[in-house]
Chains A and B, each alone.
Chain A
Amino acid sequence: MEEIIRLEGVKKYYLVRRGLLGSQTLKALDGVSLTIGKKETIAVVGESGCGKSTLGRVSIRLLEPTDGCIYFKGEEITRISERELRQRSFRRKMQIVFQDPYSSINPFMKIGDVLAEPLEIHGFPRHEIKARVMQVLEDVKLSPPEEFAERYPHELSGGQRQRVNLAKALILDPEYMVADEPVSMIDASSRAEILLLLRSIRDSREMGILYITHDIATARYVSERIAVMYLGEIVEAGVTTSVLRRPIHPYTTLLLNSVPEPDPFGRRKRRYVIKGEPPSPLNPPTGCKFHTRCPIAVEKCKTAKPILLEYETDHFAACHRAEEIINGSVTLTSSTP
């Protein structure tokens, strides 16, 4: 498979001032490696603060990594200048869609003008601009395009606005797109439409997509592979179906457990949930960062950091007890409720 984006050991640290004298390091990303191919969507899931949005931003160089390398189609772009990023069209080829469809479109501009702007900035000829705007509106299923081009953002629903955002990202024909929680603020009835759209544009435009979400159920429909993050690190990654059907890492299992499903006979069953909340990334636990909340943590987990290993074909996990979990000699629910 042709590779679009490759991240190798990417780190993003922030210095956080504490009082007058000291400062502390916040490790938002602590050594993340990831490859996204052409016509492939990778979902990154995790709780707030796990670093998933930082990962998305670093991958398109909206944020500068502290360490590690970023490759775009095999070429390293980690440290090339902003001017070069623009001149050599890297900026055009890498786009992002943000979460909030209400605050990310200029309310005083017509949709057609919103979409034409990036083309004008990139110096497209006038006659081509109109044709491209109409085409991209069709692509995101805002039709008739002539009509939508004349509308203002407030005349659109949340789902329609998010499709405008998608169109905005697509209009420059990117090869890589970061979609950061694109459906979390959309009503259920229109959410599915955005998800389906993400699938179809990936295929028709042969793009690589990084789909960032806290909602593991939506990840299933758009991604071939999935990476689960916890406190700045990938704890499990692999083919979406096998990660969701046979999760290895206890964090993934418990995350899946906390997702509610419509259940006609679910009446008030108590759920088995993860204890506590994610620890502060300013002061992460030693060893395995999940050990403070893990129901099956042993002594080793407190001291030694597990590494990401391949346990099944294209299914990786970073857990000292992975073997036992896979062969069934330890289960999560058998321990304390």
Chain B
Amino acid sequence: MSSTEILRVEKLKVYYSTPKGHVRAVDDVSFSLQRGESLAVVGESGSGKTTLGLTLMRALPRNANIVSGKIFLNGEDTLSLSVGEFRKKYSWKVISMVLQGAMNSLNPVLKVGDQVAEPLIYKMGLSREDAKKIAEEFIELVGMPRDFYNRYPHELSGGMRQRIVIAMALVMKPQILILDEPTSALDVTIQAQIINLVKDLIDNLKLSVIFVTHDVALASDVSDRIAVMYGGQIIELGRLDQVLGDNPAHPYTEKLLASLPRLRGDNVPEFIPGRPPDLVFPPPGCRFHPRCPYVFDKCRVEDPPLFRQDSDHLVKCWLRG
């Protein structure tokens, strides 16, 4: 393990049991995260990106099973811990998460400040006064006046509630923050403000961030590296300039980028024909092959490994092997 590595995921598989069979939501995913680094996990609905986040937090629903793999936090293999042990030792203190839609799940009858202070009292055993003081600091840190401590959720706008939820996730001073679609319900103007806040937090708190989103453009705005997920797998992983550069390496990344409406340039967005794979009965070979314009025989039968391109750029495609 290198000295700055804070998180390493190895060959992780997480399946959901459903009446139809096992849904392979996360299927053989490996990556690592450095201290102070921001990694975007990009994918469409059903690509497994949220399940990945929930697995890192050990907050999976009951019908989900971590089938195999390892998750190292600061060098310790955390999957050998029980969920209870993990929560005591890591949740919120080392790794925390802003869940998608959390801003709409604040308790409507409690002051938002008390909700920020809650874990300090119940998990760290601080007195109410001390907890309040710290909570106020964090409310200020996320860009709101301290006296907003006393407001109720309905008195805040969506953007402010999102800031509160981020303050809640930060109040135990974690090293890693997972943000799951933190801006998808917000206007672009407010989204840009929240993204600026996230950038400041990364720089000022030396925070490592995993930014889960369906929006490639947004991902490129906040992250150092991008992991593109498709059908439960990382199909491309690399620095921004490697993944989003002029010559995209994976056909799915290429098509995803081509599908984006842009403000500038003359390209008309294209769509990707077909639909994402069924994760109960995924297609044989490469999971993208039924939609891939460059498909050839090998793709239909054999699943490609992640091929290393230059330095840290990984691509799961036979064209790059």
Contact = CB atoms under 8 A, between A and B. Distances in A.
Nearest to B192: A258
Contacts of A267: 223-224, 240
Interface in A176-232: 187-193, 195-196, 214-218, 220-221
B218 interface: yes
Given A191-B261, A277-B159, A255 B199 contact: no
A158 B276 CA distance: 11
B270 interface: yes
Nearest to B267: A221
A25 interface: no
Nearest to B258: A192
Contacts of B244: 262-264
B195 interface: yes
A277 B259 contact: no
A190 B217 CA distance: 16
A331 interface: no
Contacts of A190: 271-272, 275
A273 B219 CA distance: 17
A268 B187 contact: no
A263 B257 CA distance: 11
B157 interface: yes
Interface string A155-193: 001111000000000000000000000000001111111
A307 interface: no
A270 B214 CA distance: 21
B5 interface: no
Most buried by B among A191, A244, A261: A261
Contact of A262 (B199, B260, B271, B275): B260
Most buried by B among A188, A218, A266: A188
Contacts of A48: 187
A47 interface: yes
B272 A259 contact: no
B264 A188 contact: no
B187 A158 contact: no
Interface in B225-283: 240-241, 243-246, 255-257, 259-264, 268-272, 275-276
A329 B29 CA distance: 54
B218 A260 contact: yes
Interface string A241-265: 0001000000000111111111111
Nearest to A221: B261
A274 interface: yes
Nearest to B265: A261
B259 A47 contact: no
A127 interface: no
A18 interface: no
A271 interface: yes
Interface string B279-303: 0000000000000000000000000
B196 A270 contact: yes
A97 to B, nearest CB: 18
A158 B45 contact: yes
Interface string B210-224: 000011111111111
B311 interface: no
Contacts of A264: 220, 240-241, 243-246
Interface string A86-101: 0000000000000000
Given A192-B271, A266-B221, A215 B261 contact: yes
B187 A214 contact: yes
Report the interface size class on chain B. 35 or more
Nearest to A263: B220
Nearest to B46: A187
B271 A196 contact: yes
B44 interface: yes
Interface in A51-100: none
A267 B219 CA distance: 9
Nearest to A197: B271
B261 A266 contact: no
A214 B188 CA distance: 8
Contacts of A261: 217, 220, 262-264
Most buried by A among B199, B244, B261: B261
Given A195-B261, A195-B269, A268-B224, A260 B256 contact: no
Interface in B16-59: 38, 44-45
Most buried by A among B216, B244, B260: B260
B202 interface: yes
Given A187-B214, A196-B271, A268-B199, A259 B44 contact: no
B241 A193 contact: no
Contacts of B215: 188, 260
B275 to A, nearest CB: 5
Contact of A192 (B188, B193, B259, B275): B259
Given A188-B44, A191-B271, A262 B263 contact: no
A196 B268 contact: yes
Given A215-B188, A260-B217, A187 B44 contact: yes
A45 B257 CA distance: 23
A276 to B, nearest CB: 9
Given A188-B256, A220-B261, A268-B199, A277 B190 contact: yes
20 contacts: A158-B45, A188-B216, A189-B256, A189-B272, A190-B271, A190-B275, A192-B259, A195-B261, A215-B261, A254-B189, A258-B188, A258-B189, A260-B191, A260-B215, A262-B244, A264-B244, A264-B245, A268-B222, A270-B199, A270-B200
User: Which 8 A-B pairs rank lowest in CB-CB distance, beginning with the nearest?
Assistant: A258-B192, A192-B269, A193-B271, A189-B272, A264-B244, A260-B217, A192-B271, A217-B261
Given A192-B261, A268-B222, A271-B192, 9 more contacts: A188-B256, A262-B244, A263-B217, A263-B220, A268-B203, A268-B223, A271-B196, A277-B157, A277-B160
